[in-house]
Amino acid sequence: MFKKSNILFQHYNNKDVLHHFVSLHSRFCTNSNNKKNKMMNEKMKALMIGVVGAGITLSAYSQTYMTPTQCIGTGLVVLIVGLFVGEGILPV
């Protein structure tokens, strides 16, 4: 078994092996960084949606555009949408 692997290694010179290793490493590192950035962006969007929902809910008694019940209901729906975005159920 050792001879077979040694024969396979002789087909490539050291530069080819190093080139393949570096290209694979860069592919995996870029994909993981993109996934982290995408996840962070989704979390920030969910946070902003949650802040808007909390603001709508807290303004229930200080505004005159809607009744307090409608305002609390709207804020609750916006908060739930923010939760779904944060969990990845609803892509935005």
Chain centroid, CA 11 distance in Å: 42
Kindly tell me if the per-residue pLDDT of 17 is higher than 70: no
How many domains does the chain divide into? 1
Residue 13 lies inside a defined structural domain of this protein: yes
Question: What does the pLDDT look like over 27-85, one tens digit per residue?
Answer: 555 556 677 777 778 889 999 999 999 999 999 889 888 999 999 999 999 999 999 99
Domain that holds residue 60: 2-87
Residue 92 lies inside a defined structural domain of this protein: no
pTM: 0.60
